[in-house]
């Protein structure tokens, strides 16, 4: 009986391979106002966050400053608690710019990952003119395709809450960002979860 059950389960699993499921199979054209997402784009003027980072079994902390420059660019500076600056990135109209990075972090994959995470937090994809408005039963989606990746901004049907931001590669979710507790268009906390490797970032707003 047990062997029979196991074979049945195996047969079913072959019929419905989980890996073949697209990220969002039932999305249809959304009938909602694009401003549904605009209001969640963080308006960082000068904001400090206490950062907590877990990479594998290692944990470290620091402070992240997000500051809007005099122009249209946004600066992000990460320091440790003792004051040493780890990196300083600038996000303007073009590609992100590295103003400074500590030698041990100055490696292309590290910089790419950090800049990518920060671009998701800053919701830089929201203004993409090619973005598609999509919906399913529960949520509204703003879909932006860029290179090989797809970014989904997901909000509740009534547009009252931004559920999450997802970065998807080949139908698989790679990064998930959750912005919570908005006040004056600035989130109180931010979580970044990497699904393809063990890395999590948690940011908590603080005032001086």
Partner 1 sequence: MRSPTLKDRPRPFAANCSRSRGAWAAMRLGALHLSLTVVSVSGFAQYPGYRPVAHPDQLNNELSLAAEKITTIKSNFTQEKNLSMLAEKINSEGKFWFKRADKIRLEYVKPFRYLMILNQGRMLSRDEQKENRIPSQANRIVRQVNRLLADGMQGRILSNADFTSRVFENEKYYLIELSPKSRTLGDIYKNINIFVDRKDFTVGAMEMLERNGDKTVMKFLQKELNADLPEELFAVH
Beta bridge partners, 108, equal none
Of 24-32, 84-92, 116-124, 166-174: span binding partner 1 (CB under 8 A)? 84-92
Q: Is 83 in the site for partner 1 (CB under 8 A)?
A: yes
Q: How far is the CB of 103 from partner 1 (least distance, A)?
A: 5
3-state secondary structure of 191: strand
Contact 188, 205 (CB under 8 A): yes
Q: Is 82 in the site for partner 1 (CB under 8 A)?
A: yes
Q: How far is the CB of 65 from partner 1 (least distance, A)?
A: 6
Closest CA to 27 of 150, 194, 119, 123: 150
Which residue blocks in the chain are alpha helix, DSSP H? 2-15, 35-38, 108-121
Residue number, 10 or 102, with CB nearest to partner 1? 102
Q: How far is the CB of 160 from partner 1 (least distance, A)?
A: 28
Contact 176, 165 (CB under 8 A): yes
Rounded to whole angstroms, the Cα distance separating 27 from 116 reads 25
Q: How far is the CB of 77 from partner 1 (least distance, A)?
A: 6
Selected from 7, 38, 99, 156, the binder of partner 1 by CB under 8 A is 99
Residue number, 41 or 65, with CB nearest to partner 1? 65
Contact 26, 181 (CB under 8 A): no
Q: Is 199 in the site for partner 1 (CB under 8 A)?
A: no
- What residues between 17 and 76 interact with partner 1 by CB under 8 A? 46, 48, 50, 52, 54, 58-61, 63, 65, 67, 75
Binding residues for partner 1, rule CB under 8 A, total 31
Cα 95 to Cα 73, 98, 107, 108, 194, distances in angstroms: 11, 10, 17, 14, 22
Pairing between β-strand 74-79 and β-strand 85-91 as defined by DSSP bridges: antiparallel
Residues that bind partner 1 (CB under 8 A): 46, 48, 50, 52, 54, 58-61, 63, 65, 67, 75, 77, 79, 81-85, 88, 99-100, 102-104, 202, 204, 206-208
């Amino acid at each position: 009986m047990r062997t029979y059950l196991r074979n049945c389960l195996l047969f079913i699993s072959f019929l419905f391979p989980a890996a073949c499921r697209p990220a969002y199979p039932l999305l249809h054209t959304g009938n909602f106002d694009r401003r549904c997402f605009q209001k969640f784009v963080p308006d960082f003027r000068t904001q400090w966050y206490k950062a907590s980072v877990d990479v594998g079994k290692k944990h470290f902390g620091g402070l992240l400053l997000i500051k809007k420059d005099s122009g249209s660019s946004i600066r992000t500076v990460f320091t440790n608690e003792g004051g040493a600056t780890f990196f300083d990135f600038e996000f303007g109209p073009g590609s992100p710019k590295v103003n400074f990075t500590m030698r041990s972090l100055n490696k292309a994959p590290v910089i790419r990952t950090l800049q990518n995470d920060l671009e998701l937090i800053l919701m830089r994809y929201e203004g993409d003119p090619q973005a598609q408005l999509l919906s399913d039963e529960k949520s509204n989606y703003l879909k932006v395709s860029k290179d090989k990746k797809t970014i989904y901004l997901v909000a509740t049907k009534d547009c009252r809450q931004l559920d999450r931001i997802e970065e998807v590669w080949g139908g698989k979710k790679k990064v998930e960002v959750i912005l919570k507790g908005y006040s004056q268009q600035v989130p109180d906390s931010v979580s970044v979860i990497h699904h393809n490797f063990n890395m999590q970032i948690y940011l908590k707003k603080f005032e001086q």
